[in-house]
Chains A and B, each alone.
Chain A
């Protein structure tokens, strides 16, 4: 043992030294690093999983987006179509109404014209009777006496009046 330099106290001291460094390294080096490695491993796994999930969700979202977009486009087209149809219908209706209104206006105008004509005719016939009476008075005054004149005038007026009534009835 002497030749090899083995010394029991030194041997013991070296064993203790090694145990000390073992405990210190376990506390200072292995434990924190292995914990950290484990933690990172877990976190990376979680991250990868999350990425996959998100990608899936994104895919789904894109799909629903496209679907919604397509539907919106279809809806828009339908609405436009509907609007066009409605517009056409409205146009037709308007034209018909305009025609009707025009016809009504024309009819009213015609009726008014007729009325005016009749009124004018009546006025003319009345004036003609009065004129005839005046003329007959003058002629008879110079020819007959007042009595005969009156009788004759009354007869003529009756005739004229019945004529006027006949004429009125005819025009009505």
Chain B
């Protein structure tokens, strides 16, 4: 079996027309895990806590203190969202590091792969020498140039079928190593930002983007709009890039030297998982804070005058 690297998550099933990818499956597992752990921790709440309750209390209480240092008085409003962002991303990152994720899977015949190519989801199998992260060149045929790969997809399918080749599709893939997931989180975060802004400041919040007071503020408003849209992209790609890069690094290392050597990198990825969860949730909190305190200086000045 060759080294398996795919930028996109692979489709493993279809549910009422919706493609189910391996990342989506892992997302569901992460959700179930979080819910089960929460239920276990808070099933029997007592004034003198048991072990599970104590751990849950330290985590939730610690997060609350941590985020309240950034959010200040708005913490009550933000906490459920940012804490969920943190916990969900953290667990998703760590579940992606479990043994079996990315290695347990099944093989697909060429015919199946042709279907997959027709869909946006792709299955890729690459030779170690030509490990490529290109959807349009899932199979690197000897002597084939990368530019030609896209055009020769159909021919390649036939070729593979003729040779009776099989493609490996992992059953699980880190939930956050899929842009659908990270983009969804980024959208939630940026939309929540606007929601918090409007909820706290009312119509006044709109002046953050559309402001005719003076030309400078008008320009600033357009910049704010652009920055908020770019936040979606930066959130999504930061998380995806970090986790996907870690997966690739571990996969390559495991492929080259399967024993001992990947361990330090595995620890590093554990750390990266925490850092990325923290970065995502902290940045969200900071942005929420900016949104709800928009125009505070002006108000203060007006009150002062």
Residues of A within 8 A of B (CB): 1-7, 9-15, 17-22, 24-26, 28-30, 32-34, 36-37, 39-40, 43
Q: Residues of B contacting A12 with CB < 8 Å? A: 184
Judging by beta carbons under 8 Å apart, are A5 and B84 in contact?
no
* Chain A residues in 8 Å Cβ range of B181: 14
Task: Say how far A11's CB is from chain B's closest CB, in angstroms.
Answer: 5
B110 in the interface, Cβ–Cβ < 8 Å? no
Question: Which of B9, B35, B121 is the one whose CB lies under 8 Å from A21?
Answer: B35
Q: Is B288 in the interface zone, CB < 8 Å from A?
A: no
Residues of B within 8 A of A9 (CB): 17-19
Contact at B188–A4, with CB atoms within 8 Å? no
B184 touches A33 (CB 8 A): no
| A24 CA / B36 CA spacing, docked (Å) | 11
- Expressed in whole angstroms, the minimum distance between the Cβ of A172 and any Cβ of chain B is 113
Residues of chain B within 8 A of A40, CB atoms compared: 47
Tell whether, in the assembled complex, residue A30 and residue B60 are in contact, meaning their CB atoms are under 8 Å apart. Answer: yes
The answer, yes or no, to whether B278 is at the interface (CB within 8 Å) is: no
A43 to chain B, nearest CB (A): 7
3 interchain residue pairs of minimum CB distance: A5-B8, A14-B184, A29-B38
- Contact present for B57 and A13 (CB under 8 Å): no
Chain B residues 8-56 with CB under 8 Å of chain A are 8-9, 17-19, 21, 24, 27-28, 31, 34-35, 38-39, 41-42, 45, 47, 49, 53, 56
Q: In angstroms, how far is the closest chain B Cβ from the Cβ of A83?
A: 60
Q: Are A1 and B27 in contact (CB under 8 A)?
A: no
> Are A25 and B61 neighbours in the complex by a CB distance under 8 Å?
no
Q: How far is the CA of A136 from the CA of B294 in the complex (A)?
A: 167
Q: In the complex the two chains form, is B7's CB within 8 Å of A4's CB? A: yes
Chain A residue nearest in CB terms to B41: A29
List chain A residues, Cβ under 8 A from B18: 9-10, 13
Check if A6 sits within 8 Å of B80, measured CB to CB: no
Contact of B31 among A1, A7, A10, A21 (CB under 8 A): A21
- Say yes or no: is B196 at the interface (Cβ < 8 Å to chain A): no
Instruction: Give me 9 other A-B pairs in contact (C-beta within 8 A), A21-B35, A28-B35 excluded.
Output: A14-B184, A15-B188, A19-B188, A21-B84, A30-B80, A33-B56, A33-B60, A34-B79, A36-B45
CA gap between A115 and B206 in the complex, in Å: 143
Min CB distance A158 to B, Å, is 133
CB contact list, B164-205 vs A, under 8 A:
178-181, 183-185, 187-188
- Nearest A-chain residue to B15, judged by Cβ: A13
For residue B178, which residue of chain A has the nearest CB?
A5
Q: How far is the CA of A25 from the CA of B82 in the complex (A)?
A: 12
Give the residue name and chain of the A residue nearest to B81 (CB): A22
Complex Cα distance, B116 from A2, in Å, reads 12
B84 touches A25 (CB 8 A): yes
Query: In the complex, A25 Cα to B81 Cα: how many Å?
Result: 10
How far is it, in angstroms, between the C-alpha of A36 and the C-alpha of B49 when the chains are bound? 10
Contact A7 B120 (CB under 8 A): yes
- Asked whether, in the complex, the Cβ of A24 is within 8 Å of the Cβ of B47, the reply is no
CA distance A18 to B80 in the complex (A): 12
Task: Tell me which of A4, A28, A33 contacts B179 (CB under 8 A).
Answer: A4
Indicate whether B136 reaches chain A with its CB closer than 8 angstroms: yes
Min Cβ gap B304→A in Å is: 36
Whether A18 contacts B45 in the complex (CB less than 8 A), given A9-B18, A34-B60, comes out as no
Asked if residues B47 and A28 are in contact (CB atoms below 8 Å), the reply is: no
Give the complex CA separation of A18 and B183 in angstroms: 11
Q: Is B83 an interface residue (CB 8 A)?
A: yes
Q: Which of A4, A25, A36 contacts B34 (CB 8 A)?
A: A25
Whether A6 lies near B57 (C-beta < 8 A) is no
B61 touches A24 (CB 8 A): no
